[in-house]
Structure 1
Amino acid sequence: MNWREIQLDWSSLICSGSTQRKVASLLLAMLINTSLATAQLPQISPRGSKSAPSSSVTVEPGTQKTNQNGTWTSFLGNQRNGISEETGLNLNWNVHRPSVLWRVPLGSGYSSIVVADGRIWTMATHLTNDFVVCFDADTGKKLWATIAAPTYLDSQRQARGPRSTPTYHDGKLYCLLPAGDLLCLEANSGKIIWKKNIFRLSGAAQQEQKTIYYWGMSASPLIEGDLVILQPGGSNNNSVIAVNKETGKLVWSAGNDPPGYGSPIVIEAEDQRQIIVPTGQSILSLNPKQGGLLWRVVWGNKYNCNCATPVWNEDSLFISSAYGTGAMRFALIRQNESLRPISRWKTLTMQNQFATSIIKDGYIYGPHGDLAAVTYRCLDLQRGQVQWMSRRVGKCTQIAVENHIICLTEQGTLILIEANPAEYREKGKLTGLLGFKAWAHPALANGRLYLRDEKRLVCLDLKQK
């Protein structure tokens, strides 16, 4: 939002008649010509006191669109595996360079984008607050911005703003902020339905006060039935919690692990539906209804830094972490009426730092490395053997579509490669769209690719012409 879009509340002026009109005109001129005209969104209308601003800042409500087929409703897409089911896209950028449909300013943060009903949502920081923001998916016009929480700055002072991605479900948004604030909002209007803090709700310690937990709540909320699954990371049977999605009330809590940064997923194996949670020191499997522990795999490093989301592939689970942890594929076997995780292989040749690997047609694709040089690799899922590696991509986030992988490097370069286990084959590279740090995962819906860094939001047209 720029200053031209602000709707001044003229009734707040304490003058009247011609004097009021003169003062109003003078103020409007000052606002339009101020150096803040290029500030990042969102700006706040001067309503009420500065200490208690309005929680929802509406620019224009817009109308809900229901004629678009493409959706991307959660972190890493509808199935939380980074794979889009869309077809008929332009996937040869060396021949047909995708066009930019629109770009808009955006504040700091690493939240990715969710898409439904002709709208997109993400989170960003501006000045002293973190916001949930909604845009029109076709035009990039901002529809509303709602104050969610005070701006967060991690203990290492690396970055401000939200880390996790909103989850869209049944006309509502579920948003987790870095200091544990959890909001349920109306997706169309941005109105807050309920708001809780998961630390106060669960009794878990405020994690950012601990030196072992550096970067704030980063896992995106998971909707499972009537529940929202979250991970405050308590040590008293409150590491993972489930709250009612309609009220925010606590339903169950489980586990004693410190929090991780990766997001939970839900799978079905051996006729058992289960929630898989990457904590700071393990991978947990929980019964969704009661939160009972089904199994636990010790998995972690000295930083409690499990950032990549587990990936389920029909009959096995793939997990990967950096800082010397590595990767493992394991199957879930039922023995004596209980599930047991059985390791198929473990390797140090794939260490995902914050990006989640893509599994496509029996092969694993992803970046390997953390603080030193990062290479992009392909591994055989069956044996865990490296098929090839390349330095042309480096540290990146990624999604997959139609046997291709779209990689967004942290410098903001977009690279399209084939999901080809035989060799690294590049189908296009786009530079100059974004800048450092581009850590949010791309999102794809209705033939449009949505990208962001810490300053802007960009939409590319991937439809075939």
Structure 2
Amino acid sequence: MKNLILLLFVGFGVPVFGESWPGWLGPQRNGWVADFKPPKVWPKELKRIWSAKVGAGYGTPLVANDRVYQHARQGEDEVLWCLDLKTGAVKWRKSYRTPFKMGGGGEGHGKGPKSSPVIADGRVFAMSITGTLSAWDAGAGNLLWRKDYGKRFGKPHPYWGTSGSPVVDGDRVIAHFGNDKAGALMALDVKTGRELWSHGKDGTCYSSPRVVEHEGVRQVIEWNHRALVGVESRTGKLLWEYPFPHLTHNQNMPTPTYHKGQILLGGENRGVHGLEPQLKNGKWTVNHQWSQRGVALDMSSAVVNDGLLYGFSHFGRGRLFCLDPKDGKILWEGPARTGNNVMFLSCPGHVLALINTGELRVIKAQRDRYEVAASWHVAQGGTWAPPVLLQNGLLTKDTETLTFWALK
């Protein structure tokens, strides 16, 4: 296929088959790579195994059944690729017309999808930049169903396009549909796309929902245009909410971090906050534990490693930081002017930080100081999509190209 560039280096970094990475920030949406064993000494350089020109977009690659799935844009079409994990060879490619005009100020980010797809039980669910959710058969690439709520809400997407990533919980795929002013959090049947429940009337934002078990209740935690909410996953019933609205140009973008009953919420120019939803005598309340105004999350979602929060503040023109979730104290900050955005992953003893400049840093997960264990340049820039860490390698995507790198 003419759009594919394939480079093979036989003998290096053959993937361990059977690995999986189902979507945005992994199985639990916390960035934790449970099966990865860090090397005693990180390599000085990465070995490129293959590269594929897949198109524009910020979605994470998915890994399942020795295949890689990538949602992107080429020309006026959004495309879903299925590639062989070992070689990068194309299994199938599906495309569909997706006209879109980016809102003013966002042109530099392009018209590629900003949402990450998700795979579960042989189905890939991909949200277009225009707010249309499509379900695909992961094996053959057949379209199973498609949902567009433009007629219900007037405009089907927010100003800069849809970036909320759908999440699957059992027989439900859950996503927020709508625009900046009006919308709803909805659960659809994974097999048919039939609406199972719809919650609220709030507009969407650029954050993504996650599912947790909290106070014995399985619930969706979502940050919409107006508030952080907890909604029962099975029924769509509102459990609790904490007002934290989009204000002026300050967007609601990061995915809230959940750790041992605590929610860590950070917003552009609004600091980072420790919150705890509590259930007592059948009533829900939200306990505000602390606020830290010295750092703030713009587009980047933070991760937890060994009980500490690692994030990227837009203050100082971009600085990595480590914070203690118990009291909100900043433990350390990295150098200023690091970049505009970072995508994080977390593994035993380390945090991986993919900077939008094309640099991938491995940072030691420690409370006393900022220390880089390894650093590699994986692209000339444009690395806004989340990376995927496998046992023997890494998947990264830049402006147009998906690459598999060997670690061993």
Length-normalised TM-score, structure 2:
0.91
> CA–CA distance in 2 between the matches of 1:221 and 1:442?
18
> Which letter maps to 1:440?
A
Q: Deviations over 1:371-413 (max 9, x none)?
A: x611111111111111110127443111111221111111111
In 1, Cα distance between the equivalents of 2:181 and 2:239?
A: 18
Per-residue deviation, 1:268: 1.3
For the 8 Å contact 2:136–2:145, the answer to whether it is kept is yes
d(CA) in 2 for partners of 1:451 and 1:305?
A: 26
User: Does structure 1 residue 252 correspond to structure 2 residue 197?
Assistant: yes
**Structure 2 residues not aligned, in runs of 5+:** 6-14
Choose which of 41, 44, 66 in structure 2 pairs with 1:92: 41
Match of 1:77 among 20, 26, 47: 26
The answer as to 2:232 corresponding to 1:287 is yes
Whether contact under 8 Å (2:305, 2:347) holds in the other structure is no
Within a 5 Å distance, the mapping from 1:23-422 to structure 2 comes to 68-90=17-39, 92-93=41-42, 95-156=43-104, 157-158=107-108, 159-200=110-151, 203-208=152-157, 213-233=158-178, 238-300=183-245, 301-303=247-249, 305-322=251-268, 324-369=269-314, 373-391=317-335, 393-394=338-339, 395-422=341-368
In the TM superposition, what is the alpha-carbon distance from 1:462 to its structure 2 partner?
2.5
Question: What's the secondary structure of 1:75's corresponding residue?
Answer: coil
Change (3 A) 1:185 1:89: same
Residue 240 of structure 2 contacts residue 277 of structure 2 at CA under 8 Å; is this kept in 1?
no
Bigger mean CA deviation after superposition, 151-160 or 126-135: 151-160
8 A contact 1:149–1:181 mirrored in 2: no
Greater Rg over alpha carbons, structure = 1
Runs of 4 or more off by more than 6 Å in structure 1? 234-237
- Structure 2 distance, partners of 1:171, 1:319, is 33
Corresponding residue SS for 1:239: strand
Instruction: State the Cα distance separating 1:234 from its structure 2 match.
Output: 6.4
Change in Cα spacing, 1:149 to 1:220, as seen in structure 2 (3 Å) is: farther
**2-side partners of 1:160 and 1:278: how far apart?**
23
Question: In the aligned structure 1, how far is the partner of 2:183 from the partner of 2:348?
Answer: 40
Shift of 1:207: 4.7
Residue 153 to residue 456, structure 1, CA distance change in 2 (3 Å)? farther
Q: Within the alignment, does 1:447 sit opposite 2:392 as a pair?
A: yes
Determine if contact 2:54/2:70 at 8 Å carries over to the other structure: no
Residues 175 and 187 in structure 2, CA contact (< 8 A), matched pair in contact too: yes
8 A Cα contact 2:220 2:231, kept in partner: yes
Cα shift at 1:303: 3.6
Q: Counterparts of 2:54 and 2:78 in 1: how far apart (Å)?
A: 11
Q: What is the CA-CA distance between 1:333 and the residue it aligns to? A: 1.4
Instruction: Letter of the 1:105 partner, please give it.
Output: K
SS in structure 1 opposite 2:102?
coil
Distance change >3 Å, CA 141–CA 428, structure 1 → 2: same
CA RMSD, aligned part only?
2.2
Q: Secondary structure at the match of 2:248?
A: coil
The question of whether the paired residues in 1 share the 8 Å contact of 2:148 and 2:156 is answered with no
Q: Which amino acid aligns with 2:351?
A: I
8 A Cα contact 1:133 1:144, kept in partner: yes
Query: Aligned in 2, Cα 1:205/1:325: closer, same or farther, shift over 3 Å?
Result: farther
Give me the whole-angstrom Cα distance separating, in 1, the residues matched to 2:383 and 2:183: 33
After superposition, the C-alpha distances for 1:397-454 in whole angstroms (9 at most, x for unaligned) are 11111221111111111111111111111111112x2133211111123432110011
Aligned twin of 2:371: 425
2:404 and 2:100 map into 1 onto residues whose CA distance is 27
Kept after mapping to 1: 8 A contact 2:149/2:178: no
Kindly tell me: are residues 236 and 319 of structure 1, through their superposed partners in 2, closer, same or farther at Cα, counting changes over 3 Å? closer
Aligned equivalents of 2:181, 2:99: Cα separation in 1: 29
> How many Å separate the matches in 1 of 2:188 and 2:72?
24
Distance of 1:408 and 1:220 partners within structure 2: 19
The residue matched to 2:150 in structure 1 has which SS? helix
Partner Cα distance (1:246, 1:181) in 2 = 16
Displacement of 1:89: 3.6
Residues 149, 292 of structure 1: alpha-carbon distance in 2 compared, 3 angstrom cutoff? farther
CA deviations over 1:97-146 (Å, ceiling 9, x no partner) = 33222122221111111111000111111122010111111111121111
Flag structure 1 segments of 5+ consecutive residues without an equivalent.
3-38, 42-65
Cα distance, 1:235 vs structure 2: 9.1
Q: How far off its partner does 1:183 sit?
A: 0.7
Residue type at the aligned position of 1:131: V
CA distance in 2, matches of 1:410, 1:257: 31
Question: Which amino acid counterpart does residue 69 of structure 2 have in structure 1?
Answer: W
Distance in 2 between residues matched to 1:247 and 1:236, nearest whole Å: 28
Q: Compare 153-162 and 118-127 and name the one that shifted more.
A: 153-162
Note closer, same or farther for the CA distance 1:444–1:151 as it changes in structure 2 (3 Å cut): farther
Q: What is the letter of the counterpart of residue 131 of structure 2?
A: G
CA distance in 2 between counterparts of 1:321 and 1:91 reads 36
